[in-house]
Chain A
Amino acid sequence: MRRGDQPRSGGARPATLLTPSLLWIAVFFAGPLLVMAVFSLARRGAYGTIDWTLGLQNYAQALDPLYLTVYGRSLWIALVTTILCFAAGYPAAYAIAMKVPARWKSTLLVLAVVPFWTSFLVRTYAWRFMLQDDGLVNAVFAWCGLPAQKLLYTDTAVMIGQVYAELPFMILPLYAAIERLDRRLLEAASDLGASRISRFVHVTLPLTKSGIVAGVVLVFVPSLGAFITPDMLGGAKSMMIGSLIQEQFVQRNQPFGAALGNLLAVAVLILLAVAWRAGARDEARA
């Protein structure tokens, strides 16, 4: 090897190494996107066939007031889910990163992701048993002398299920950001007279912004397009975008389903762009 050459392992070129994954992405990611784009311009034909007269009518239909409430509810539930995940996740991540003895950290982090060891469907079924009218939650309510609550098939049930499902995705990036936080900066803030609250607002929060942005994106985006939780815990009354899209494909209206899917993807891309800009500015300052 000449001096100055990049050390190479096995002599494989970058192109060789990247080809399999690039092919994978082309076939299974870019391909379906293209199919979706074309489908969304077609129309529903008779008896479940597709009429290949291309036009924008599906996008016009997507703006029908009938569906706007579904988008609104989806945004609302995703927003509340994100806020609740942040409210529950930040203290947890802070405690694991700053307060807990070092030997407990990895155990607690593993505990945060332990739910992933079981199928998501199974866990969501478990929530049904907990939330149904004669379920565990109402049993506890009754034991406490509280009136029974209608929980299953409500927005509340969806939010509970979503927060449960998404919380680890909030805790992990927040933990990473808080762990990186320079403790001396906290001492400096106290030294300059900042109270604990002021120190948190003006030093801790801004300096863990990258983790907050990552956590919010990781929770908000899947929540917005969630399908299993709203379907199983929310039912028909609490329909969200994910269920709406799924319904189109079941009812053989693939063109409209494709259009809805594309709109959701564009909305998510816009959100990611905003988040990336916020994060990028953060990096430039750090």
Chain B
Amino acid sequence: MPPVGAGSLVTAVVSVRSVTKRYPGVAAVDGVWLDIEDGQFVTLLGPSGCGKTTLLRLIAGFETPDEGQVYFGTNDVTHVPPHERDVHTVFQQYALFPHLSVADNVAFGLRRGRVRRPAGEVARRVRESLELVRLTGYGDRMPAQLSGGQQQRVAIARAVAPGPRILLLDEPLGALDRKLREAMQIELKQLQRQLGISFVFVTHDQDEALAMSDVVVVMKEGKIEQKGEPSEIYEHPRTRFIAEFVGVTNVIVGDVESIDAGLASVRTPAGIVPVSAAANGGPALSMGDRVSVAVRPEKIRFAEARAAGAIACRVEDARYLGDVTHWRVRLLDGSTWTVFAQNDGTPEPLEPGAEVGLVWESNHAVRLES
């Protein structure tokens, strides 16, 4: 029944159950199950067109599923229009009302929403919300007079002012420059902890997803590929797609030659690679199985070319980035791998063309589902 994505229904504030949304010729969201727990920071991660924004819009109510249901707690909200849902959205391009001042923008949900609030409460909440995003004193400005980062903060203040249980964020940091984006990542995470509500954050930026989330949901072609904590997604990607989309990875394919004490030796064109034989989401390995093995570039160490258990390769070139050097090496089978070497003082006396060996801990070699 509920596959990847589903959790316990009891504590879920949002529960997406077997939802499908079709557009002409394509299922944007295809049979997705997803439970979002109270107070969680959940990130929907994937390349453009993977259905992450459609999933967010299904939760917001801008789209109605063709199949399946959306629950808020125990309420079926599948056919409830957006203005009657207790969620608010921070839009990609902020979507601030250009004819309203910052304060009036923030007050919009308080004044026009379903709950009628006295003027005093509106003023107090506007003040608190602007304080929360550190824009105290900006209430009288017009959106056009603000910088991109400030507009972003107003959009967040506007969405949190009515006190939603869930905040949806649709690639909110995409339009900001790198420095500002990193600062906002930290702020958003702090804000989420402070408010104690669930955030559902859509992004195609894996760094953003890893840095901010309690749970990362990786999507591909309308389906959830994997759901897990950032470290789980990074260290134990289920498929080659995830391994390559989240971070940089090296993949090699081979056949299981022997199994000894839980360790499988995989014969690849480039040499013997040891992998844990235990199940990694899939069945345990047995002799003769064809497997894909992924190794992260920073898990690899250089060794002597003919050291025991080392994979031989030839150095192609190096990209010196200061804190780290990215090495490109060519394996015997002709495939190109990447190795990250931390600049920790140990010299890496390698020249292009040098023959070296690559070694890693066997538990860092991850089996991928094919």
Contact = CB atoms under 8 A, between A and B. Distances in A.
Interface of A: 182, 184-185, 187-196, 198-199, 202-203, 206-207, 209, 282, 285-286
Given A190-B83, A192-B162, A184 B112 contact: no
Contacts of A188: 89, 91, 95-97
Interface in B60-99: 60-62, 81-84, 87-89, 91, 93, 95-99
Interface in B87-129: 87-89, 91, 93, 95-99, 108-109, 112-115
Nearest to A183: B95
B88 A285 contact: no
Given A188-B89, A194-B83, 14 more contacts: A182-B95, A185-B95, A185-B98, A187-B89, A188-B95, A189-B108, A191-B159, A192-B108, A192-B112, A192-B162, A193-B162, A194-B108, A199-B83, A206-B99
Interface size class of B (residues with CB under 8 A): 20 to 34
A192 B93 CA distance: 16
A136 to B, nearest CB: 44
Contacts of A202: 108, 112
A285 B82 contact: no
7 contacts: A182-B95, A185-B95, A191-B83, A192-B83, A193-B113, A206-B99, A282-B99
A191 B112 contact: no
B146 interface: no
B180 interface: no
B95 A192 contact: no
Contacts of A182: 95
B82 A191 contact: yes
Interface string B156-172: 00110010000000000
Contacts of A207: 97-99
A191 B60 contact: yes
Contacts of A196: 83
A201 to B, nearest CB: 9
B195 interface: no
Interface of B: 60-62, 81-84, 87-89, 91, 93, 95-99, 108-109, 112-115, 142, 144, 158-159, 162
Nearest to A187: B62
Nearest to B62: A187
A285 B99 CA distance: 6
Nearest to B114: A193
Contacts, number: 77
A184 B83 contact: no
Contact of A190 (B81, B96, B97): B81
Nearest to B143: A285
Contact of A193 (B91, B93, B109, B142): B109
B142 A192 contact: no
A187 B109 contact: no
A94 B83 CA distance: 21
Contacts of A191: 60, 62, 82-83, 87-89, 159
B83 A195 contact: yes
A196 B81 CA distance: 10
Contact of B158 (A190, A192, A282): A192
A2 B268 CA distance: 65
The 5 closest A-B pairs by CB, nearest first: A193-B113, A192-B109, A194-B112, A188-B95, A184-B95
A207 B97 CA distance: 9
Nearest to B89: A191
Contacts of B84: 193
A285 B98 contact: yes
Of residues A189, A191, A209, which shows the largest number of chain B Cβ atoms within 10 Å of its Cβ?
A: A191
A187 B81 CA distance: 11
A90 to B, nearest CB: 18
A164 B98 CA distance: 35
A210 to B, nearest CB: 11
A187 B92 CA distance: 12
Given A192-B158, A285-B99, A286-B144, A187 B108 contact: no
A200 to B, nearest CB: 11
Contacts of B144: 285-286
Contacts of A206: 99
B99 A286 contact: yes
Contacts of B112: 189, 192-195, 198-199, 202
A192 B99 contact: no
Highest count of chain A CB atoms <10 Å: which of B97, B113, B114, B115: B97
A202 B97 CA distance: 10
Contacts of A184: 91, 93, 95
A246 to B, nearest CB: 43
A188 B96 CA distance: 8
Nearest to A282: B99
Given A194-B112, A285-B142, A187 B98 contact: no
B222 to A, nearest CB: 22
A248 to B, nearest CB: 46
Nearest to B84: A193
B60 A192 contact: no
Contacts of B88: 191-192
B83 A193 contact: yes
